[in-house]
Structure 1
Amino acid sequence: MPRLAYPAAARRLGETGTALVRVVVDVNGLPREVTLHQSSGHPRLDEAALDAMRAARFQPYRVDGKAVEAVAIAPLAFQLQ
Protein backbone atom coordinates (compact mmCIF):
# COMPACT_ATOMS: atom_id res chain seq x y z
CA MET A 1 0.00 0.00 0.00
CA PRO A 2 1.19 3.51 -0.67
CA ARG A 3 2.55 5.65 2.15
CA LEU A 4 -0.08 8.21 3.16
CA ALA A 5 0.77 11.75 4.25
CA TYR A 6 -2.03 13.08 6.47
CA PRO A 7 -2.64 16.72 5.47
CA ALA A 8 -1.91 19.04 8.41
CA ALA A 9 -5.13 21.02 7.92
CA ALA A 10 -7.19 17.81 7.84
CA ARG A 11 -5.48 16.62 11.02
CA ARG A 12 -6.20 19.93 12.81
CA LEU A 13 -9.85 19.80 11.73
CA GLY A 14 -10.22 16.17 12.80
CA GLU A 15 -11.10 14.96 9.30
CA THR A 16 -11.13 11.19 8.87
CA GLY A 17 -12.38 8.87 6.17
CA THR A 18 -11.55 6.31 3.53
CA ALA A 19 -11.03 7.20 -0.12
CA LEU A 20 -11.42 4.49 -2.72
CA VAL A 21 -8.82 5.06 -5.41
CA ARG A 22 -8.86 3.35 -8.81
CA VAL A 23 -5.42 2.69 -10.24
CA VAL A 24 -4.31 1.27 -13.57
CA VAL A 25 -0.88 -0.33 -13.11
CA ASP A 26 1.24 -0.74 -16.23
CA VAL A 27 3.51 -3.66 -17.13
CA ASN A 28 6.42 -2.00 -15.28
CA GLY A 29 4.47 -1.67 -12.02
CA LEU A 30 3.92 2.08 -12.40
CA PRO A 31 0.56 3.76 -11.85
CA ARG A 32 -0.51 4.84 -15.33
CA GLU A 33 -3.93 6.23 -14.39
CA VAL A 34 -5.15 7.21 -10.92
CA THR A 35 -8.70 8.40 -10.26
CA LEU A 36 -11.01 8.81 -7.30
CA HIS A 37 -13.60 6.00 -7.27
CA GLN A 38 -15.33 7.13 -4.05
CA SER A 39 -14.64 10.18 -1.92
CA SER A 40 -13.63 10.08 1.73
CA GLY A 41 -15.98 13.01 2.22
CA HIS A 42 -13.09 15.46 2.54
CA PRO A 43 -11.34 16.98 -0.51
CA ARG A 44 -8.00 17.31 1.34
CA LEU A 45 -7.97 13.60 2.17
CA ASP A 46 -9.04 12.66 -1.36
CA GLU A 47 -6.17 14.64 -2.89
CA ALA A 48 -3.66 13.14 -0.42
CA ALA A 49 -4.90 9.65 -1.34
CA LEU A 50 -4.50 10.37 -5.06
CA ASP A 51 -1.00 11.80 -4.50
CA ALA A 52 0.02 8.72 -2.50
CA MET A 53 -1.22 6.36 -5.19
CA ARG A 54 0.56 8.33 -7.94
CA ALA A 55 3.83 7.94 -6.01
CA ALA A 56 3.35 4.21 -5.31
CA ARG A 57 5.25 1.45 -7.08
CA PHE A 58 3.86 -2.06 -7.59
CA GLN A 59 4.88 -5.55 -8.56
CA PRO A 60 3.51 -6.02 -12.08
CA TYR A 61 0.54 -8.36 -12.35
CA ARG A 62 1.49 -11.47 -14.31
CA VAL A 63 -0.51 -13.86 -16.46
CA ASP A 64 1.31 -16.98 -17.61
CA GLY A 65 4.56 -15.37 -16.50
CA LYS A 66 4.06 -12.26 -18.62
CA ALA A 67 3.53 -8.80 -17.06
CA VAL A 68 0.18 -7.29 -18.02
CA GLU A 69 -1.65 -4.07 -17.22
CA ALA A 70 -4.01 -4.41 -14.26
CA VAL A 71 -6.75 -2.35 -12.61
CA ALA A 72 -7.44 -2.21 -8.88
CA ILE A 73 -9.54 -0.19 -6.47
CA ALA A 74 -7.71 0.42 -3.22
CA PRO A 75 -9.15 1.77 0.05
CA LEU A 76 -6.87 4.40 1.57
CA ALA A 77 -7.94 5.15 5.13
CA PHE A 78 -7.15 8.27 7.13
CA GLN A 79 -7.68 7.78 10.86
CA LEU A 80 -6.55 9.98 13.72
CA GLN A 81 -5.02 8.26 16.70
Structure 2
Amino acid sequence: MIRAVRTGLVVALAAVSAGCVDTPRTAGGLQLGMNDAPLRAPMRIDSGPPFQFPAGAWQEGLQGTTILRLLISEQGTVDSALVLESSGHPSLDSAALAQALVLRFKPAAQGGDPVRVWGRLPVVFPRRDETESDADTP
Protein backbone atom coordinates (compact mmCIF):
# COMPACT_ATOMS: atom_id res chain seq x y z
CA MET A 1 0.00 0.00 0.00
CA ILE A 2 2.75 2.44 0.90
CA ARG A 3 4.43 1.65 -2.42
CA ALA A 4 1.20 2.62 -4.22
CA VAL A 5 1.09 5.95 -2.40
CA ARG A 6 4.74 6.62 -3.30
CA THR A 7 4.07 5.77 -6.95
CA GLY A 8 1.17 8.20 -7.01
CA LEU A 9 3.32 10.88 -5.43
CA VAL A 10 6.14 10.43 -7.92
CA VAL A 11 3.70 11.02 -10.77
CA ALA A 12 2.05 13.90 -8.94
CA LEU A 13 5.30 15.62 -8.04
CA ALA A 14 6.54 15.26 -11.59
CA ALA A 15 3.51 17.31 -12.59
CA VAL A 16 4.47 20.02 -10.11
CA SER A 17 8.10 19.99 -11.19
CA ALA A 18 7.34 20.04 -14.89
CA GLY A 19 4.31 22.23 -15.21
CA CYS A 20 3.34 24.19 -12.19
CA VAL A 21 3.59 27.63 -13.68
CA ASP A 22 0.66 29.22 -15.43
CA THR A 23 2.45 31.25 -18.11
CA PRO A 24 5.99 32.43 -18.78
CA ARG A 25 5.24 35.97 -17.56
CA THR A 26 2.80 35.31 -14.74
CA ALA A 27 2.18 32.49 -12.31
CA GLY A 28 -1.19 32.30 -10.62
CA GLY A 29 -1.74 35.96 -11.37
CA LEU A 30 1.63 36.98 -9.89
CA GLN A 31 3.83 39.16 -12.07
CA LEU A 32 7.16 37.41 -12.44
CA GLY A 33 9.20 40.37 -13.56
CA MET A 34 9.67 42.48 -16.59
CA ASN A 35 12.39 40.41 -18.27
CA ASP A 36 11.84 37.70 -20.84
CA ALA A 37 14.10 35.18 -19.13
CA PRO A 38 12.74 31.63 -19.08
CA LEU A 39 11.06 30.48 -15.92
CA ARG A 40 12.44 27.36 -14.22
CA ALA A 41 9.74 25.46 -12.36
CA PRO A 42 10.16 24.56 -8.67
CA MET A 43 11.40 21.07 -7.84
CA ARG A 44 10.66 19.09 -4.71
CA ILE A 45 13.75 18.60 -2.54
CA ASP A 46 12.45 17.00 0.66
CA SER A 47 12.72 13.24 0.96
CA GLY A 48 9.95 10.72 1.27
CA PRO A 49 6.26 11.09 0.64
CA PRO A 50 4.52 13.12 3.35
CA PHE A 51 1.00 12.10 2.32
CA GLN A 52 -0.52 9.44 4.50
CA PHE A 53 -4.08 8.22 4.71
CA PRO A 54 -6.05 9.50 7.69
CA ALA A 55 -6.63 6.45 9.92
CA GLY A 56 -10.40 6.43 9.48
CA ALA A 57 -10.18 6.81 5.70
CA TRP A 58 -7.82 3.85 5.44
CA GLN A 59 -10.11 1.70 7.59
CA GLU A 60 -13.09 2.61 5.39
CA GLY A 61 -11.19 1.85 2.18
CA LEU A 62 -11.67 5.36 0.82
CA GLN A 63 -9.83 6.45 -2.31
CA GLY A 64 -9.55 9.55 -4.42
CA THR A 65 -7.38 12.28 -5.83
CA THR A 66 -7.29 15.77 -4.35
CA ILE A 67 -5.94 18.47 -6.67
CA LEU A 68 -4.21 21.18 -4.66
CA ARG A 69 -3.05 24.65 -5.65
CA LEU A 70 0.18 25.56 -3.87
CA LEU A 71 1.86 28.93 -3.49
CA ILE A 72 5.58 28.17 -3.41
CA SER A 73 7.71 30.96 -1.95
CA GLU A 74 11.07 32.29 -3.06
CA GLN A 75 12.56 30.19 -0.25
CA GLY A 76 10.89 26.98 -1.49
CA THR A 77 8.31 26.68 1.28
CA VAL A 78 4.58 26.25 0.72
CA ASP A 79 3.02 29.53 1.81
CA SER A 80 -0.55 28.57 0.94
CA ALA A 81 -2.49 25.50 -0.15
CA LEU A 82 -6.09 25.18 -1.27
CA VAL A 83 -8.26 22.48 -2.81
CA LEU A 84 -8.93 22.99 -6.53
CA GLU A 85 -10.71 19.65 -6.97
CA SER A 86 -12.00 17.51 -4.12
CA SER A 87 -11.40 13.79 -3.86
CA GLY A 88 -15.02 13.54 -2.77
CA HIS A 89 -13.96 12.75 0.78
CA PRO A 90 -13.40 15.66 3.20
CA SER A 91 -10.97 13.62 5.33
CA LEU A 92 -8.70 12.96 2.33
CA ASP A 93 -8.86 16.61 1.24
CA SER A 94 -8.00 17.82 4.75
CA ALA A 95 -5.08 15.40 5.02
CA ALA A 96 -3.72 16.50 1.64
CA LEU A 97 -3.93 20.18 2.62
CA ALA A 98 -2.28 19.74 6.00
CA GLN A 99 0.51 17.55 4.70
CA ALA A 100 1.24 19.74 1.65
CA LEU A 101 2.29 22.56 3.96
CA VAL A 102 5.44 20.64 4.97
CA LEU A 103 6.72 20.12 1.42
CA ARG A 104 9.99 21.81 0.47
CA PHE A 105 11.07 22.85 -3.02
CA LYS A 106 14.03 24.27 -4.85
CA PRO A 107 12.25 27.53 -5.70
CA ALA A 108 11.21 28.52 -9.19
CA ALA A 109 13.64 30.94 -10.79
CA GLN A 110 13.58 33.51 -13.54
CA GLY A 111 16.78 35.11 -14.76
CA GLY A 112 18.65 33.31 -11.99
CA ASP A 113 16.52 34.88 -9.24
CA PRO A 114 14.09 32.86 -7.10
CA VAL A 115 10.45 33.75 -7.71
CA ARG A 116 7.16 32.98 -6.01
CA VAL A 117 4.79 30.82 -8.10
CA TRP A 118 1.51 28.97 -7.89
CA GLY A 119 1.51 25.29 -8.77
CA ARG A 120 -0.91 22.37 -9.02
CA LEU A 121 -0.31 19.17 -7.12
CA PRO A 122 -2.47 16.06 -7.50
CA VAL A 123 -2.42 14.03 -4.27
CA VAL A 124 -3.44 10.45 -4.99
CA PHE A 125 -4.90 8.28 -2.25
CA PRO A 126 -5.13 4.93 -4.10
CA ARG A 127 -7.72 2.26 -3.51
CA ARG A 128 -6.84 -0.24 -0.85
CA ASP A 129 -6.03 -3.62 -2.37
CA GLU A 130 -8.34 -6.12 -0.71
CA THR A 131 -5.62 -8.78 -0.88
CA GLU A 132 -3.27 -6.78 1.35
CA SER A 133 -3.18 -7.66 4.99
CA ASP A 134 -4.05 -5.19 7.70
CA ALA A 135 -0.40 -5.42 8.77
CA ASP A 136 0.39 -3.17 5.79
CA THR A 137 -1.78 -0.39 7.17
CA PRO A 138 0.14 2.90 7.42
1:44-75 per-residue CA deviation (whole Å, 9 max, x = no partner) reads 00011001111111110011100000110110
Query: 5+ unaligned residues in a row in structure 2: which ranges?
Result: 1-12, 14-48, 130-138
Query: 5+ unaligned residues in a row in structure 1: which ranges?
Result: none
Amino acid at match of 2:110: V
Amino acid at match of 2:56: A
TM-score using structure 2 length:
0.56
Tell me how many residue pairs correspond in the alignment.
Answer: 81
Any runs of at least 4 consecutive aligned residues in structure 1 with deviations exceeding 6 A, and if so which? none
Residue 107 of structure 2 is aligned to residue 60 of structure 1: yes
TM-score using structure 1 length:
0.94
Say what the alpha-carbon RMSD is for the aligned residues.
1.0
Measure, in 1, the Cα distance between the counterparts of 2:51 and 2:80.
Answer: 18
Q: Would you tell me which structure has more helix in proportion to its own residues?
A: 2
Residue 55 of structure 1: SS of its match in structure 2?
coil
Q: Would you tell me which structure has more strand in proportion to its own residues?
A: 1
